[in-house]
Structure 1
Amino acid sequence: MTGGAVRPEGPRASERAARPDGALMIEARSISYAYKETVALRDVSFGLPKGETLAVVGPSGCGKTTLLSLIAGLMPSTAGQLRVDGAPVQPRRPGTALILQDYGLLPWKTVRENVALGLRIRGMKPDAADQALREVGIADLAGRWPHQLSGGQKQRVAIARSLALGPDLLLMDEPFSALDALTREEMQDLLLSIWRRHRTSLVLVTHSITEAVYLGQQIMVLSPRPGQVVGLFRNPTVGDRRAAAFHEMVNRVRDALEKGVNGGA
């Protein structure tokens, strides 16, 4: 199945009941993006209901990061329509937070100062930084410097910095790719628990099929460049790595990815 808005079922009845009735956080209609003569994305359409999660997978260079940049308003699409929370996407939207692969921590600032940075830039009191640090489990590291942290701790700081701003849309670009396998699963569990508490709409770009199936209520598969939607799946197995349906979904996503790479053969 490709294109269009999908309303996937989550893993719990309480989660399904908590969702808004059909309002879209992101609506993309036939969006494309080209760097001069290089087309990165072509005719991408999808809808993400408020409070739900979308995982985007695809081969390297297929435009996954470009898609996040368009949603974040860092650059305009060259064709199509893209709306966030019912309005045309705008740069520096206050409710949108972007977490990059390299964490983006300033080495000359402490953990707390890094978490409070966005608040200070926006002229807000830094108090929310302390609550965010407690929520991601590193309040005891507030006075440390980035070079004193492990990779997982740095990622917790990056997540806390975004949470402190109270976003309604969280965009994550390969956030756990540099972590070892056990730490990566730990961070996936942390992200899932944060999402269940806050119901922040989430778009996660990843190369990991199992990560996409664990975290994405929707899973969108892109073809090699120019990135086009070759699969868009409802995923009822979010948060359950051991279910038989989880492994079935992993295989469905892998099949769609392989067909996209092989040109549908």
Structure 2
Amino acid sequence: MIKARKVSYAYGETVALRDVSFDLPRGQTLAVVGPSGCGKTTLLGLIAGLLPITAGELLVDGAPVQPRRPGTALILQDYGLLPWKTVRENAALGLRIRRLPVDAADQALREVGIADLARRWPHQLSGGQQQRVAIARALALGPDLLLMDEPFSALDALTREEMQDLLLAIWRKRQTSLVLVTHSITEAVYLGQQILVLSRRPGRVVDLFANPAVGDRRADAFHSMVNRVRDALEKGVNGGA
């Protein structure tokens, strides 16, 4: 689904990413971790076609990345809900913009477990419920690539784990390719079949782990991978990339 070869991005004289390379097979998940300011969100922007790469090659589904790719959905940290629209209207927003039938929004709301809240307003929802609306809005479009930028960072610990479980269940059902940016090492290990560790700015690849412990917080392999990712992250912070 994604092929990145020596991808770099700079704004002005500041280099945000340098020589980032990885492959994401179709239907798999990739978690991206790294210190603040290392270019994780920038990488999502490049994959989404919102930013132009400065150097290198970036392909999505075999073609050079383009803005407004219909199969790519982006979920932001702040949920991006419109306060003057109901839950259902927010979930159907992308469909209406593309002039598509809105029935898929109802199915998506059922899939994330909040169909009974369809007539509520965003201010009447908890943080976890708002995040479910954002996920439903993305799923309604039937994406083959889902990009998520720190989607659960504002949630309490229990709600965060609940949302991680929901995302994992959706991925197992739909087999949508997923790129997740997170500051949480345990979240990365729980959700990422691959884990990309970036160094401090300019973000470079410190390591890329294949993760057999995805989806099992209690496995010995999970705790071992958490330690490996933590070691790689410390290496990147200390300039060892």
Q: TM-score, normalised by structure 1?
A: 0.90
Distance 1:64 1:215 in 2: 16
Which residue pairs with 2:91 in the alignment? 115
- Cα deviation digits, residues 205-226 of structure 1 (max 9, x gap): 0000000000000000000000
The alpha-carbon deviation at position 198 of structure 1 amounts to 0.2
The residue aligned with 1:230 is 206
Question: Does 2:8 correspond to 1:35?
Answer: no
State whether structure 2 residue 42 is matched by structure 1 residue 88. no
Counterpart code for 1:123 = R
Equivalent in 119, 126, 143 of residue 119 of structure 2: 143
3-state SS of paired residue (1:56): strand
Distance 1:87 1:263 in 2: 34
Distance 2:124 2:5 in 1: 45
Aligned-partner Cα distance in 2 for 1:193–1:125? 25
Secondary structure at the residue paired with 1:65?
Answer: helix
The reply to whether residue 106 of structure 1 matches residue 82 of structure 2 is yes
Structure 2 equivalent of residue 175 of structure 1: 151
The residue aligned with 1:162 is 138
Shift of 1:75: 1.2
Amino acid corresponding to residue 65 of structure 1 in structure 2 = T
Q: Distance in 2 between matches of 1:226 and 1:264?
A: 12
Alignment of 1:1-265 (within 5 A): 25-264=1-240
SS in 2 for 1:238: coil
Q: Deviations over 1:185-208 (max 9, x none)?
A: 000000000000000000000000
CA distance in 1, matches of 2:30, 2:202: 20
- Gaps in structure 1 of 5+ consecutive residues: 1-24
- Paired amino acid for 1:157: V
Aligned residue pair count: 241
- The letter for the 2-side match of 1:238 is V
| Secondary structure of 1:233 counterpart | strand
CA distance in 1, matches of 2:121, 2:201: 39
CA distance in 1, matches of 2:135, 2:198: 26
| Other structure's SS at 1:43 match | strand
Residues 46-84 of structure 1 show CA distances to partners (whole Å, capped at 9, x for unaligned) of: 000000000000000000000000000001100000000
The Cα shift of 1:264 comes to 2.0
Gaps of 5+ in 2: none
> Deviation at 1:263?
1.6
Distance 2:92 2:228 in 1: 41
CA RMSD between the two structures: 0.7
In 2, the alpha carbon distance for the partners of 1:262 and 1:88 equals 34
Please state how far the C-alpha of 1:233 moved relative to its aligned partner.
0.2
Aligned AA (2:133) = V
Shift of 1:137: 0.1
Determine helix, strand or coil for the equivalent of 1:118: helix
Q: Distance in 2 between matches of 1:147 and 1:119?
A: 22
Q: Percent identity?
A: 87
